């Protein structure tokens, strides 16, 4: 069974690789946030499948490293330094790409910023909400507005937005991040019917937790199951091949169903999660000593989480 499973898996991988190649060979694909994590893995996979990949990120040196890696493997890639949160920089990037390549076939809006902080700890941090909206929503929207006209003119195009499982499950302490992603989701769902008869498709990927540099500083994530960047990039490749309206995991869909069918129960569960994992020491302004003591109380494994949650839910109940 082990050998048979390995053979089957290899056949499926080969089949998907062929499907991806047929979809993207000689196509122009823009990937933002392309120098690390999901974006870099997507760029590598797309280039290996024959796409001409346009990499956008803030750091020129990291862009050059990724381009060199792709070209060393025989792929086609071009680097453009751009801060997607800067609208003027987006305008320059869009114009330069169109001048150099005339059009874009696939746009993957991957660049994003996440902030984990409770609303109560955010009353004096309105800029957190402005920063997340600027990059996660307005930056992505700027690129859509820049590249979509040519897609509509050519009657061919695909816009893939990397969203979050949080839009489906509404986790506490992520109000700034989830709101910005939800705005982009809502835009795509409204725009898609307008573009459908021009053969320009939108796909929203409600990505689960991924082991990327963005989550590395938050040590409590060590207790949660996560995808690798490679696994996350495979979700994106599936979206490129099949062009679905949405890509989501079972956990995310379960969260959405729970909120729709039993919102009170869902809120209770999320409140327990809110109490289980406090704001980070940085968000609370703790000293180094206080931060060390606070982190010692955070669950490190699923078993730790279960124990603390049981004590929390049944506090004051004696057996």
Q: Are 50 and 74 in contact (CB under 8 A)?
A: no
CA distance 183 to 162: 12
Sign of the CA dihedral 129, 135, 139, 140? negative
Question: Of 264, 125, 228, 245, which is closest to residue 189 (Cα–Cα)?
Answer: 245
Of the residues 80, 137, 177, 221, only one is catalytic, namely: 177
Question: Of 160, 202, 199, 166, which is closest to residue 182 (Cα–Cα)?
Answer: 166
Question: Is 80 part of the annotated catalytic residue set?
Answer: no
CA distance 300 to 153: 53
Q: Are 57 and 81 in contact (CB under 8 A)?
A: yes
The contacts of residue 139 (CB under 8 Å, 6+ apart) are 32, 84, 85, 86, 87, 90, 111
The catalytic site residues sit at: 177
């Amino acid at each position: 069974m082990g050998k048979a499973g390995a053979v089957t898996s290899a056949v499926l991988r080969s089949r998907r690789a062929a499907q991806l190649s047929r979809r993207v060979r000689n196509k122009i694909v823009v990937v933002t946030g392309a120098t690390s994590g999901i974006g870099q893995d997507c760029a590598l996979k797309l280039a290996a499948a024959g796409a001409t990949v346009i990499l956008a990120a803030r750091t020129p040196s990291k862009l050059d490293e990724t381009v060199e890696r792709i070209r060393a493997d025989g792929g086609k890639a071009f680097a453009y330094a751009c801060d997607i949160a800067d609208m003027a920089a987006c305008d320059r990037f869009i114009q330069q790409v169109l001048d150099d390549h005339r059009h874009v076939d696939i746009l993957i809006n991957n660049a994003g910023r996440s902030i984990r902080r409770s609303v109560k700890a955010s009353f004096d941090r309105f800029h957190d909400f402005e920063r997340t909206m600027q990059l996660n929503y307005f930056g992505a929207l700027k690129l859509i507005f820049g590249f979509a006209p040519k897609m509509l003119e050519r009657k061919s195009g695909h816009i893939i937005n990397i969203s979050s499982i949080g839009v489906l499950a509404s986790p506490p302490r992520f109000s700034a991040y989830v709101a910005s992603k939800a705005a982009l989701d809502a835009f795509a769902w409204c725009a898609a019917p307008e573009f459908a008869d021009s053969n320009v498709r939108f796909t929203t990927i409600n990505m689960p937790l991924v082991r990327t540099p963005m989550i590395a500083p938050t040590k409590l994530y060590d207790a949660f199951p996560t995808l690798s960047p490679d696994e996350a990039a495979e979700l994106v490749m599936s979206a490129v091949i099949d062009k679905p309206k949405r890509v989501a995991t079972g956990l995310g869909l379960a969260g959405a169903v729970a909120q729709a069918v039993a919102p009170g129960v869902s809120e209770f569960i999320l409140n327990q999660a809110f109490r289980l994992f406090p704001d980070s020491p940085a968000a609370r302004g703790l000293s180094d000593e206080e931060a060390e003591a606070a982190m010692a109380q955070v669950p490190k494994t699923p078993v730790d989480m279960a124990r603390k949650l049981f004590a929390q839910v049944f506090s004051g109940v004696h057996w």
